[in-house]
Copies of this chain bind each other. A is one copy, B any other.
Amino acid sequence: MSLEYAILVSLQERAGSGYELARRFDKSIGYFWGASHQQIYRSLKRMVELGWVSADEVAQEKRPDKKVYRVSDSGTAELARWLAEPADPPTVRNELSVKIRGASYGEIEQVLAEVRRHRTLHAERRAVYQAIEQRDFPDRTRLSGQPLHQFLVLSGGIRTEQSMVDWCDEVIAALEADAGS
C-alpha cells in the first residue's frame, strides 16, 4: 500500500497527471520509491475510489487530454494518519549476495564480473544523486522544513549507494586475491 502514500506525498508537493507522476517516479521520487506507469495508473484509480484524490480533466492543444490529480481533504488526513504509524524495515533480499554466497557452485569469474558491473551501476547512481545535491542544496547548513526533509532523503540515497560501492570494492579485492593465490 506504500505506493499510494508516496503518490500522496508527491501530489501534495504539486498536483499532476498520471504521466507526470510516472516521470517523477523515474527521477526525484525514484531514488526512494520506484514505480512503473502501470502501477501508478492503477493506484490513482483506487485512490479516486477511496476519495483520497480528485481528478480534473484538462483539455490541451496539440496534446492528448490529461487528468490532473490533487489531494483531497480526506487524502490529507489519511497521509497524516499513515505518517504517524510505525512500519518495520522491509525483509532483506539481496540477489547479488545469494550469488556471492553460492559462487563456489559456479564460475567465480562470472560472479566477479557481475559484482564489477554492480559496482559501476551503484557508482553511477551515487554520481547522479551527488549532482542533484550540488544543484539543489548548495548551502546545506541552513536547511529547514520541507527542503531539509528532501535533502535528508537524498543523503540517505547517497549513503546507500556509497555503501554498496564500498562493499563491491571489498568483494572484488577479496575474490581477486583468492583467485590469484
Contacts and interface: CB of A to CB of B under 8 A. Distances in A.
Interface of A: 2, 5-6, 8-9, 12, 29-34, 76, 79-84, 86-107, 110-111, 114, 117-118, 121-122, 143-146, 148-150, 152-153, 155-157, 159-160, 162-164, 166-167, 170-171, 174-175, 178, 181
Contacts of A122: 89
What are the 6 A-B residue pairs with the smallest beta carbon separation, nearest first? Answer: A83-B106, A34-B91, A32-B97, A9-B102, A163-B163, A84-B110
Give the copy number: 2
B167 A101 contact: no
Given A159-B167, A167-B155, A106 B94 contact: no
B104 A2 contact: no
Contacts of A32: 92-94, 97-98, 101
